[in-house]
Each structure stands twice: as structure tokens, then as C-alpha cells.
Amino acid sequence: MIDLHSHSTASDGSRAPESLVQLALETGLGALALTDHDTLDGVDRALAAARGTPLRLIPGVEIEIESAEGEFHLLGLGLEGDRSDLAEALIRLQAARRDRNARMVARMQAAGIPITHEELAATAGGAIVSRAHFARLLVRKKVVSSIDAAFRRLIGKGSEFYEPRLCLGLREATDLIRCAGGVAVVAHPVTLGLKGPALRTSLQAFRDQGVAGIEAWHPNHTAKACRAFEKLARGLAMVVTGGSDYHGDHMPQRRLGLSVDGREIPDAFLESLPSKESAERRRP
């Protein structure tokens, strides 16, 4: 059992990288990818915690990509090479996220929603504030009843207080992931907002711009959708991955190592990811 999508306190998870590694060991995982949003800050800590244990810690990241439809998140998995160029690009994204946050706070305050920068910073606990932190604060203040409701009604794409931010273009992102020794994978493809021929055409175009795989197995998908995404990936000669998208206490329904309907994420998905040795050979 493995997990190729998880988050720590370096972004919007509730567990520190070291604690996440310990949970993975207790759960019996053979491998865990740490894929925090727009940051690699937790990677070295997680690698150090996993050193000398049976757990293979896979350096990763999750990046939002420019998209006219839905929301497009890209996982970079197996970042075993030189991550310096990617880290520099992520710093730009973090600055853009701060600008976006300021606009959202100003608009909410103008609408009478009691939310402050200081409260958001405290909610984030030192990480860059994300929309997930907005959602948690809005729930705590009883503005909405749940995190899902916060995204659906207030801060999700197309909702009242949604603010766009600078995102990487797909080609730039896949090039950065490749140069860091990793492979690019479309995260939770259901959020692309595409179906049928439009989905297949888009995924084929993504593949042609350097995307290697599809996260077919994700707890936000139905089992039927997971199987369809897996079939689509294989038909496009793309790799298949799966992850829990674990966030810890904030999303208790997501459990490490498990995907939709509590299904274990199989070791076979690991075969498509580069090892540290192969990543070194692939470096430009």
C-alpha cells in the first residue's frame, strides 16, 4: 500500500512533515509522496524523518495551472534531481498567492464578513495562506457550515469572493518538474470540469505538453469514474497514479493510503515513478 498525494503543515495539512512520515510508518505504507501546494519546504524534513526506515519518501509538489475551465492542479512526483529552478518558480507563486489573499480579505471585509489577515495567518500556522485556510476560518466563525460549503458558496472558482491568481503555464510547469527529475501528473481530473470527448482531447493535449500521467484514483471520484480515468490514461499511453490527498484533521474522511470507498492504493502505481538513480540519469 502506498500514497502518492499528501499534504503537511508546509501548506494546508494538519501534520508536520515528520508527523506525516510517522503516520505513514504506523499505517504500513511502503511509499509516500509529499505534495504540498506551491512549496518544497517540507520535503527535506520528510526525507530526513524517513531516512533509515522502511518508508520510501517521494519528493513532490502540487501546482495550480492556468485553465479556462474548472481547476487544473498538477502533481510533480519523484523530484529526485536538482529542485532549485522549481523552488524559484514556486517563490513567485507564493508571492502571487499573498496578493490574491489580500484582495479576497478586502472584498470580504467590505461585504461585512468578519475576517482578518491576522486570523488567517494564525490559521495557517506559518504556512502560506491558501483558500483552504480561508475555508477553515469561515467555518470556525460560522459564516458557513463546512469547508465544502465555503468553496461552493464563497471562495471556489465562479463563486462570490473567488479571486484568480498568477499560475504557471502547463509547459513551464512540466519543464520545471522534468528538470527536477520528476514526472507530471494531472491531479484529481474531475476538477477539470471536462467530460467525454472534451476530456480526452484535453488530456491528450496535456500529454503532448509533457504531462506523463493521470491521478485516476482519488477519494473525490466515484469508483466508476476512477476506472474510467484509468482506462483513459492507459488508452493515451499515460501512467496511472492514486492518492488520498491527505490533509489530516481538516479532512478526516481522507485516510492515508486509501482512495475512493476506502480502497487501498496499490504498490503497482509506484512503478512509473523515477528512482533517485534514474532521475540523475535523466537530468538535462
> Does a structural domain hold residue 160?
no
> Does a structural domain hold residue 100?
yes
The yes-or-no verdict on residue 179 having pLDDT over 60 is yes
Number of domains in the chain: 2
> Does a structural domain hold residue 110?
yes
- What CATH number does the domain containing 18 carry? 3.20.20.140
> Does a structural domain hold residue 65?
yes
> 278 or 195, which is more confident?
195
- pLDDT band, residue 276 (cuts 50/70/90): low
Q: Is residue 146 domain-shared with residue 191, that is, in the same domain?
A: no
The yes-or-no verdict on residue 8 having pLDDT over 90 is yes
The yes-or-no verdict on residue 158 having pLDDT over 90 is no
User: Could you report the per-residue pLDDT of 88-104, keeping only the tens digit for each?
Assistant: 999 999 999 899 999 99
pLDDT score, position 250: 80
* CA–CA separation, 260 and 224 (whole Å): 10
Closest CA to 136 of 266, 9, 270: 9
CB 25 within 8 A of CB 55: yes
The yes-or-no verdict on residue 45 having pLDDT over 60 is yes
pLDDT score, position 73: 96
- The parent domain of residue 53 ranges over 2-90+166-282
Q: Is residue 97 domain-shared with residue 150, that is, in the same domain?
A: yes
Q: Is residue 39 domain-shared with residue 95, that is, in the same domain?
A: no
Q: What is the DSSP code string of the chain?
A: -EES-B--TTTT-SS-HHHHHHHHHHHT-SEEEE--BT--TTHHHHHHHHTTSS-EEEEEEEEEE--SSS-EEEEEE---S--HHHHHHHHHHHHHHHHHHHHHHHHHHHTT----HHHHHHHHTTSPP-HHHHHHHHHHTTSSSSHHHHIIIIISTTSTT------B-HHHHHHHHHHTT-EEEE-SGGGG---HHHHHHHHHHHHHTTEEEEEEE-TTS-HHHHHHHHHHHHHTT-EEEE---B-GGGSTT--TTB-GGGPBPPGGGGGGSPPHHHHHHH--
Within 8 A by CB and 6+ apart from 271, the residues are none
Q: Is residue 171 domain-shared with residue 55, that is, in the same domain?
A: yes
Give the mean pLDDT of 157-184: 94
pLDDT score, position 125: 87
Q: Is residue 71 domain-shared with residue 201, that is, in the same domain?
A: yes
The phi, psi pair for 251, rounded to 5°, reads -135, 75
The phi, psi pair for 47, rounded to 5°, reads -60, -40
The yes-or-no verdict on residue 61 having pLDDT over 50 is yes
Q: Is residue 181 domain-shared with residue 257, that is, in the same domain?
A: yes
The phi, psi pair for 38, rounded to 5°, reads 55, 25
pLDDT score, position 277: 46
User: Could you report the per-residue pLDDT of 106-134, keeping only the tens digit for each?
Assistant: 999 999 999 999 999 999 888 889 898 99
* Domain endpoint, select from 155, 181, 197: 155
* Domain endpoint, select from 120, 135, 155: 155
Residues β-bridged to residue 89: none
User: Could you report the per-residue pLDDT of 219-260, keeping only the tens digit for each?
Assistant: 999 999 999 999 999 999 999 999 999 999 888 889 999 999
Lowest-confidence region among 9-13, 104-108, 186-190? 9-13
Within 8 A by CB and 6+ apart from 134, the residues are 101, 104, 115, 120, 150, 155
Q: Is residue 35 domain-shared with residue 174, that is, in the same domain?
A: yes
> Does a structural domain hold residue 72?
yes
The yes-or-no verdict on residue 69 having pLDDT over 80 is no
> Does a structural domain hold residue 243?
yes
Q: Is residue 82 domain-shared with residue 108, that is, in the same domain?
A: no
Other Cβ atoms within 10 Å of 231 Cβ, number: 12
The yes-or-no verdict on residue 283 having pLDDT over 80 is no
Q: Is residue 46 domain-shared with residue 85, that is, in the same domain?
A: yes
> Does a structural domain hold residue 256?
yes
Q: Is residue 197 domain-shared with residue 208, that is, in the same domain?
A: yes
The yes-or-no verdict on residue 76 having pLDDT over 70 is yes
Q: Is residue 171 domain-shared with residue 273, that is, in the same domain?
A: yes
Q: Is residue 131 domain-shared with residue 260, that is, in the same domain?
A: no
> Does a structural domain hold residue 161?
no
